[in-house]
C-alpha cells in the first residue's frame, strides 16, 4: 500500500502542477513510512516540502494554499498528532465551502496513517475517524488494499472538497495486485470483496483483512459469509450495505476504534432503520474497547481479532 500511495501521488502530481505535498519529514526522509520516498528528487522542494513540527500551522497553510488555487496534500505523521490541527480542520476547512455558498472550493487532502498492529507507543496507534466522519463538510475515506489506495488517493486529490484520507499503517507493507488501467469504482462506493449468503461482515481499513480471515474460517465450518469493504466512511454507501444485508439477513460491523459513538455505531443504527424487516438478527458490533489505546504489549487484547469477530458471527447465527 505504501508503494501504491507513492505511485498514486506521483501520477497526481504529474498530471497537475498545482498538487503540493507538505508534512513533517516527508521530503528529505521520504516520510516516516517512506510513503513519499523519491518524490522530492522528482518534483523538487517547491512541491514536496518539509514543515515545522506544527500540525495546526500545516493545515492552516494548506487552507491558504487552497484559497490560491493549489491542491495541497498534507501528511499528519501519526494519527494521534492530528489533534493540534483539529480546530483548523473542523472549524475552518470543513466549513469554508459552505460559508462561501459554494463559490470557493478547498481541495485539501489530509493523509493520516492510523490504527494499530505495529507495536508503537501512545499517540501512534489511534483510530480517530469518527471525529471527522461526524463533521459536516468533510469527506472521509480509508483504503483497505493497495489497489484501493492507488486509485482513491488520486480521486481524493482530483475532487474539490476536503478529504480526510486515513491510511491503515499496518497494511503499508503487505503486497497486492494493482490494476492501473481499468477505471476504478467511485471514491465513495463500498465493495463486496467476498460474496456470501448467511451473514454480512462490514469493515474498513486494516479490519478488512481480518474479516476475510474470519470468512475463510467460517467457510470451513459450513457458513457462507459476505465481506463488504466500506472504503468510504463519510458519505457511507448505504445502497451496497442494504443490498448485502437484505440478502444475508444478518450483519456484524467490526472496527479497531472504540465502539461508543463510532462509525460502527452509525452503521448498525442506520441498517436497523433501513433494513429492519429484512433482518433475521440485530446488527452486532465488534470494536476496540472504550479506553485509551494501551501499551504495545496489550494491543493484541485491545484490537478485535479473529476470535472476537467469530464469536460475534456465532451470536448472530444463534438468533
CA distances from 278 to 176, 247, 263 (A): 35, 8, 22
d(CA 16, CA 10): 10
d(CA 160, CA 316): 41
Clarify whether 134 is annotated catalytic. no
**Ramachandran region, residue 25 (left: φ > 0; alpha: ψ -120 to 50; beta: rest):** left
| Cell 451470536 sits on residue | 315
∠98-101-102 over CA atoms, to 5°?
85
d(CA 285, CA 263): 10
d(CA 27, CA 264): 36
Q: Is 204 in contact with 176 (CB distance < 8 Å)? A: no
- A 10 A CB-CB count for 33 gives 19
* Given 124, 134, 188, 260, the catalytic residue: 124
d(CA 217, CA 224): 10
Q: Is 245 in contact with 274 (CB distance < 8 Å)? A: no
Residues 6+ apart with CB under 8 A from 13: 19, 21, 39, 43, 47
Q: Is 98 in contact with 55 (CB distance < 8 Å)? A: no
Query: What one-character DSSP code corresponds to residue 47?
Result: T
Q: Which of 255, 260, 271 is nearest to 205 (CA)?
A: 255
Positions marked active-site: 124
Amino acid at each position: 500500500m505504501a508503494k501504491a500511495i507513492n505511485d498514486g501521488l506521483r501520477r497526481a502530481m504529474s498530471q497537475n502542477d498545482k498538487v503540493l505535498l507538505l508534512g513533517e519529514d516527508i521530503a528529505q526522509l521520504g516520510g516516516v513510512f517512506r510513503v513519499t520516498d523519491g518524490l522530492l528528487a522528482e518534483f523538487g522542494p517547491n512541491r514536496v516540502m518539509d514543515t515545522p513540527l506544527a500540525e495546526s500551522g500545516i493545515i492552516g497553510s494548506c487552507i491558504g494554499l487552497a484559497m490560491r488555487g493549489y491542491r495541497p496534500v498534507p501528511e499528519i505523521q501519526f494519527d494521534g498528532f492530528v489533534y493540534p490541527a483539529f480546530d483548523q480542520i473542523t472549524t475552518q476547512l470543513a466549513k469554508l465551502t459552505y460559508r462561501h455558498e459554494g463559490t470557493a472550493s478547498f481541495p485539501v487532502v489530509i493523509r493520516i496513517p492510523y490504527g494499530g498492529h505495529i507495536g508503537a507507543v501512545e499517540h501512534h496507534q489511534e483510530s480517530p475517524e469518527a471525529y471527522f466522519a461526524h463533521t459536516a463538510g468533510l469527506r472521509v475515506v480509508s483504503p483497505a488494499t493497495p489497489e484501493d489506495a492507488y486509485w482513491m488517493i488520486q480521486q481524493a486529490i482530483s475532487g474539490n472538497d476536503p478529504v480526510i484520507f486515513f491510511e491503515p499503517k499496518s497494511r503499508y507493507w503487505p503486497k497486492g495486485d494493482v490494476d492501473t488501467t481499468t477505471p476504478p469504482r467511485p471514491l465513495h462506493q463500498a465493495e463486496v470483496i467476498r460474496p456470501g449468503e448467511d451473514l454480512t461482515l462490514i469493515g474498513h481499513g486494516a479490519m478488512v483483512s481480518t474479516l476475510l480471515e474470519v470468512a475463510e474460517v467460517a467457510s470451513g465450518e459450513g457458513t457462507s459469509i459476505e465481506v463488504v469493504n466500506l472504503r468510504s466512511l463519510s458519505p457511507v454507501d448505504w445502497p451496497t450495505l442494504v443490498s448485502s444485508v437484505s440478502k444475508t439477513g444478518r450483519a456484524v460491523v467490526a472496527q479497531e476504534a472504540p465502539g461508543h459513538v463510532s462509525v460502527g455505531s452509525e452503521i448498525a443504527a442506520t441498517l436497523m432503520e433501513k433494513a429492519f424487516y429484512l433482518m433475521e438478527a440485530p446488527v452486532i458490533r465488534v470494536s476496540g474497547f472504550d479506553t485509551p489505546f494501551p501499551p504495545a504489549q496489550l494491543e493484541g487484547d485491545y484490537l478485535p481479532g479473529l476470535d472476537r469477530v467469530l464469536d460475534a458471527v456465532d451470536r448472530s447465527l444463534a438468533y
